[in-house]
Structure 1
């Protein structure tokens, strides 16, 4: 074994000792496999849609170029198909401009790595995605000017903004204050109270110095009219676009059932990213086959069939919560519980968006997520454990992701298996053996 392998192996052994070692697991979820997937982010079950498959195959049959884009967008990869999709998404989301990226990760790293300048401030929810942190670390904004606030906490945000206001400006031009949020957080499955947070932002930062970025990775296609997302629904309900959310990230690898993403922003931000964002400049563009798949997906999402899928998902989520509630009510919270929800994230919500909408993501907190995951897998359910460093210590969990294609029978069987885990005493025994009770709050 080489010196490098020896050193890396030692680091891997340390991770194993902490119970944080990751490995790839292959699952067969095809018909007849006996496994039901409750881990996928395919919230609307688009990846198995016969309607989408037929439309996509027709598009492939009608085009000459079906595979790679052959180069970066700045070289040979800016095809009519790419431009058409960008223009379509720009119109669909009601945005000034749109720029495609190969992934949500690339988009966040590009924006946060290159748009904020040295004298600016970046304020972010403590649970924003790792890609935002990677972008900030690569940016020219010093760490002292990158400040987090407690998750979904308006008072904590206000305290951070007061701290910024108390700092003397180091340049003649006032700094831009960037505020990074997610519409729906992927671990707790809770919504950001966007209107409340924006009101706090307005109280402390002049509008001309604001730049609000909302990552809608887990809401794209799933919420809002024709799947336009939470921000669009809030704007539509208010009857105006007051410009408070200036940048939106819509990703395609979850509810849209495909891959890639689009950043919705001003023409100036789009042009700046084309000129300075290295992940965009030096990456081969999305394959034409993927662009065609996205056209088909948005045809479906914009149709009555897409709305039926959103309605089906909402019904499945409500049914799961109805069955799970009595199980958790009789379970000691140190053994199994859900994270504390955000109180009414959308008070006075517009039509089509409830004050506290249902989320397809449910993080079941447990001190022994690996044991619980294995228990459920033995009963035919893929429910993956999530452990540090993905979540903070004390936030270990299994994450249940619901899909429009799940049947009520599958939901009932999963909840029954969770109840069996609790009632058999297995959970308590495993927790005692681990000696790691849940903290009262993340």
Structure 2
């Protein structure tokens, strides 16, 4: 069997399991595959990626600095815009300092592969993002997984690793596939009791939770040791960051390989992100309307009999169960002008395939009505054709 035949045989298994993926081409912010599709899968929670204020800020920096950054931050890629944005992120997250990475994925890997040492242990939530999992794998520390937001299980496992040199608890702030919120108000006291450090990936909470959109730390009024985030979701641009004490940032600047050896994000992206953070601080009404829409959609879908998780964040997973049935539902919604792809293993556990809806601030009441009508129509079409289409709510 040659190389391509071997790969084809593996892909055939992927197709048989209903897990084969293809890329979706987005022609603009609204058009997918040359058809008008209302996008219910975007992480652009506040609709800032197409805000003219961000575009203008990026254009100005683009003309001044050019399209790229030319090198890593430690070589030729450090500009006033990078420093200005880091200061803004630190103020926004209420920390001493912050450090930009080229993506949130690289920030997680950089922090987790450099902070814990051999003899330490990382306690990681069962449903943490792939970037956290990969960061744990690259760390010299051991990793112990605790059940999803189960504080009894976390405490039991903390008690069992007291002989390790150091203990690190790492968790998503908002879990991207379930929309659940990590209970930092319980995790922080546990960490203090068992002498552990807390690392929070606030990718899906930044700009969404808290009075000023500061994320889970502001939402609960707590201070983790390390806050990681991305600029590619509610902030509407690109890049990632770590925020915390000045000594933490000095350490990462000198030891995080994904910072040291990675080309810096372009100054134009920094200018756009800086503008976005200023807008987010004044976007309380946007967040309120967005979360009001979330409650409306969840109530409507549950009334139809769908099993819906979340409800406190823009992420609403509609749990279907079987991967092929989830694809059927997504394809049917797409035919009705509703873009909401199926999420299947390995992104989610086997038997938990879903339609992951995300509710953005630019969705109108008419859009919401169309979405609910689309689900109701697909419910009628599919419930008779596929026995057991709806999974158990539990």
Residue 386 of structure 2 corresponds to 430
CA distance in 2, matches of 1:286, 1:54: 18
1:140-159 counterparts in 2 under 5 A?
Answer: 140-141=140-141, 145-159=142-156
Structure 1 unmatched runs, 5+: 170-174, 236-240, 329-335, 342-356
TM-score norm. by structure 1 comes to 0.82
Contact kept, 8 Å, 1:371 with 1:430, in 2: the verdict is no
- The Cα of 1:178 is off from its aligned counterpart by 0.4
Residue 45 of structure 1 corresponds to 47
Aligned pairs, number? 388
Query: Quick one: which of 372, 377, 387 aligns to 1:420?
Result: 377
CA distance in 1, matches of 2:77, 2:392: 50
Listed one character per residue, the Cα deviations across residues 118-164 of structure 1 (whole Å, up to 9, x for unaligned) are: 111100110001011111111212xxx31011101111111211221
CA distance in 1, matches of 2:359, 2:182: 20
Question: Is 1:185 the counterpart of 2:178 in the alignment?
Answer: no
Aligned partner of residue 90 in structure 1, secondary structure: helix
CA distance in 2, matches of 1:199, 1:428: 50
Residue 255 of structure 1 corresponds to 234
CA distance in 2, matches of 1:99, 1:418: 43
Residue 18 of structure 2 corresponds to 19
Residue 213 of structure 1 corresponds to 199
- The Cα of 1:258 is off from its aligned counterpart by 0.7
Query: Quick one: which of 350, 369, 390 aligns to 1:393?
Result: 350
CA distance in 1, matches of 2:312, 2:131: 26
Provide closer, same or farther for how the CA distance between residues 118 and 428 of structure 1 changes in structure 2, counting only shifts above 3 A: farther
Aligned partner of residue 14 in structure 1, secondary structure: helix
CA distance in 1, matches of 2:53, 2:77: 29
Aligned partner of residue 364 in structure 1, secondary structure: strand
Contact kept, 8 Å, 2:208 with 2:313, in 1: the verdict is no
Contact kept, 8 Å, 2:73 with 2:264, in 1: the verdict is yes
Residue 330 of structure 2 corresponds to 373
Question: Is 1:338 the counterpart of 2:308 in the alignment?
Answer: yes
- The Cα of 1:109 is off from its aligned counterpart by 0.6
CA distance in 2, matches of 1:440, 1:414: 21
Residue 232 of structure 1 corresponds to 218
Query: Quick one: which of 238, 253, 259 aligns to 1:280?
Result: 259
TM-score norm. by structure 2 comes to 0.92
CA distance in 2, matches of 1:294, 1:247: 20
Query: Quick one: which of 196, 202, 215 aligns to 2:192?
Result: 202
Listed one character per residue, the Cα deviations across residues 371-425 of structure 1 (whole Å, up to 9, x for unaligned) are: 000010010000010111111111111111111100111111111111122233x
Aligned partner of residue 227 in structure 1, secondary structure: coil
Listed one character per residue, the Cα deviations across residues 327-371 of structure 1 (whole Å, up to 9, x for unaligned) are: 12xxxxxxx4124x6xxxxxxxxxxxxxxx722111111121100
Q: Which protein is bigger by CA-based radius of gyration?
A: 1
Q: Bigger CA drift: 223-232 or 125-134?
A: 223-232
Residue 364 of structure 1 corresponds to 318
Residue 345 of structure 1 corresponds to none
CA distance in 2, matches of 1:163, 1:388: 31
Aligned partner of residue 65 in structure 2, secondary structure: coil
Structure 2 unmatched runs, 5+: none
Provide closer, same or farther for how the CA distance between residues 407 and 297 of structure 1 changes in structure 2, counting only shifts above 3 A: same
Provide closer, same or farther for how the CA distance between residues 233 and 440 of structure 1 changes in structure 2, counting only shifts above 3 A: closer
- The Cα of 1:262 is off from its aligned counterpart by 1.4
Question: Is 1:293 the counterpart of 2:296 in the alignment?
Answer: no
CA distance in 2, matches of 1:138, 1:289: 31
Provide closer, same or farther for how the CA distance between residues 87 and 440 of structure 1 changes in structure 2, counting only shifts above 3 A: same
Question: Is 1:325 the counterpart of 2:302 in the alignment?
Answer: yes
Contact kept, 8 Å, 1:362 with 1:400, in 2: the verdict is yes
Question: For the aligned residues, what is the CA RMSD?
Answer: 2.1
Query: Quick one: which of 216, 222, 226 aligns to 2:208?
Result: 222
